Amino acid sequence: MAYTAADVKNLRERTGAGMMDCKKALDESNGDIEAAVDALRAKGLAAAAKKSSRTAAEGLVGVAVSGTKGVAVEVNSETDFVAKNDQFQDFVRKTTEVALGVAGDDVEALKAATYPGGGTVADALTNNVATIGENQQVRRMKTVEVSQGLVVPYMHNAAAPSLGKIGVLVALESEAPADVLEALGKQIAMHIAAAFPLALTADDLDPELIERERKIAAEKAAESGKPENVQAKMVEGAIAKYAKENALLSQLFVIDNKTPIQQVVDAAGKEAGSKIVLKDFVRFQLGEGIEKEVSDFAAEVAAAVAG
């Protein structure tokens, strides 16, 4: 697989490694960027990359909350210019509100739901494409809910009320007063936006991610030349560190960089006189995870609209 100067630039931005190291890694990986990232990390030339913050699609993330239920929705457009369009913003806002009434996280069910003013969300999307003149796609949605308590929304660098590029929801289950939960939820939401947790707990982390980290750690340990039993301990230590740093409840609170989020929640509950459980969270960053699909974006959206 050949690679381009843009691939070298992408690899440098993701890893912080030097240009020559990036070129060598791409040569050795036959142009496979993910394999090159792993190779650079195994050699100690790159830090762990949770997920690329670079976006391959424009658009907006919307968040909406109704008491104990909240939802985040991502709608993509081809350019940032359209994301600033009032019609597009109105569509994202209304679609997110409609999503509050949709069960589960089924985007197809959301598109089939009734849109304010008549028709379905899919009809409104088709009208947007026709009138704005640019392809758009309702890409994903995620709902969180508690039996009692509060779901707290947060939009980092909002482009408009409840709309932006990084949307967060924090689900707090508790009998504590709403103002207490609101303040705690907002602090945790800001932490989530900054710290990029991959799961609520270590047990919730994607097994494929853990296996990838294990292989990288094993390569590093093997290069140390230490006995196999020591290498095994090095690998397990690396995995434990990775899990701690990427699971929300064990991450260190960004405000003081020393208190685990679980302790922050426990302390707030103790002060309020009512136990607080951080049940779930959502962090949607515009375009994350679709970098490789960008070249086929127009065809993907056209197929979705036609379907």
Domain boundaries of the chain, sorted by first residue: 1-38, 58-169+285-306
pTM: 0.77
Does residue 53 have a pLDDT over 50?
no
Residue 292 confidence (pLDDT) above 90: no
More confident residue, 300 or 149: 149
Percentage of residues in the chain having pLDDT higher than 90? 62
Confidence of residue 220 (pLDDT cuts 50, 70, 90): confident
- pLDDT for 24 beyond 50: yes
Number of other CB atoms surrounding residue 49 within 10 Å: 16
Per-residue pLDDT for 131 more than 60? yes
Residue 54 has pLDDT above 70, yes or no: no
Q: Are 136 and 76 in contact (CB under 8 A)?
A: yes
pLDDT at 195 over 60: yes
For 230-272, what is each residue's pLDDT tens digit?
989 999 999 999 999 999 999 999 999 999 999 999 999 999 9
Among the residue ranges 6-20, 40-54, 155-169, 196-210, the one predicted with the least confidence is 40-54
Say whether domain 1-38 belongs to CATH 1.10.8.10: yes
What is the arithmetic mean of pLDDT over 117-136?
91
Question: pLDDT-derived band of residue 294, with 50, 70 and 90 as boundaries?
Answer: very low
The model's confidence at residue 303, banded by pLDDT at 50, 70 and 90, is low
CATH: 3.20.20.70, 3.30.479.20, 3.30.2350.10, 3.40.1190.20. Which one for 58-169+285-306?
A: 3.30.479.20
Q: What is the mean pLDDT of residues 116-140?
A: 92
